[in-house]
Structures are given as structure tokens and as C-alpha cells.
Amino acid sequence: MFVRLAEQHRQFVGDLVANLQALALVLEKRGYLASCYTCGGERNSASFMVSLGGNHLIRFLVSDYGITWTEMRDDRELMKLEGAEAIAQLQELANLIKYQVEPTMALSSAARVV
């Protein structure tokens, strides 16, 4: 049972990393400053960052050790979420992009989320 759960977790993290990489590309094409860095080719961890302008930064980290969403403005931490809550917040960011909100509008929308 534990071997199966460990493999499912590895697949989940790999899928999440792949989606973060795709989201970073879409964000860049929409005019945001975004990046997604991974360690090695196995997709077992990633560091995703996006700037929403006005010194508003979002960092999303995923690894075997956990998943975190950190939102900062002017180098101050506004919000830190972990696990499922972090993934739900990432979905909110993806929804902003899905509905083609411009970077300047995203700043005010994201500020309301906090």
C-alpha cells in the first residue's frame, strides 16, 4: 500500500511541476514576469514565481517535502498557505489568466484575494 501511495505522490508532484511550467509560459506571453525552475529532469520539485506589478510577488514551491504559496508585497509576506490551500490559491491565479485579466487589473484582483 505505501509503495503505491509513494508512486501516486511522485506522479502528482510531476503533474503539478509540468502545470507550473506551462503556467509560467502562459503568464510570460500575457506580459507578466514569471519563471519556473526545476531541479533535474525528473520533475520532482519546482520553484514558480510571478510578479503582478507594484512590488507584488507570488512564489509557489513544490517538492517531496511539501507545497507552499507565499504572497509578498514590498518584501513583506502577506499570506503563506500550504498543501491543498496553496493549490486552491494557484487555481485562483490560473483563473485570472484564463479570463485574460491584464497585469494591471490582476494586481487589484489579487489584492482582494488577500
Domain limits of the chain?
2-113
Q: What's the whole-number mean pLDDT along residues 47-61?
A: 94
Q: How far apart are CA 61 and CA 23, in angstroms?
A: 14
Q: Which three cell numbers stand for residue 25?
A: 509560459
Q: How far apart are CA 28 and CA 31, in angstroms?
A: 5
Q: What's the whole-number mean pLDDT along residues 71-95?
A: 94
> Which pLDDT band holds residue 103 (cuts at 50, 70, 90)?
low
> Which pLDDT band holds residue 96 (cuts at 50, 70, 90)?
confident
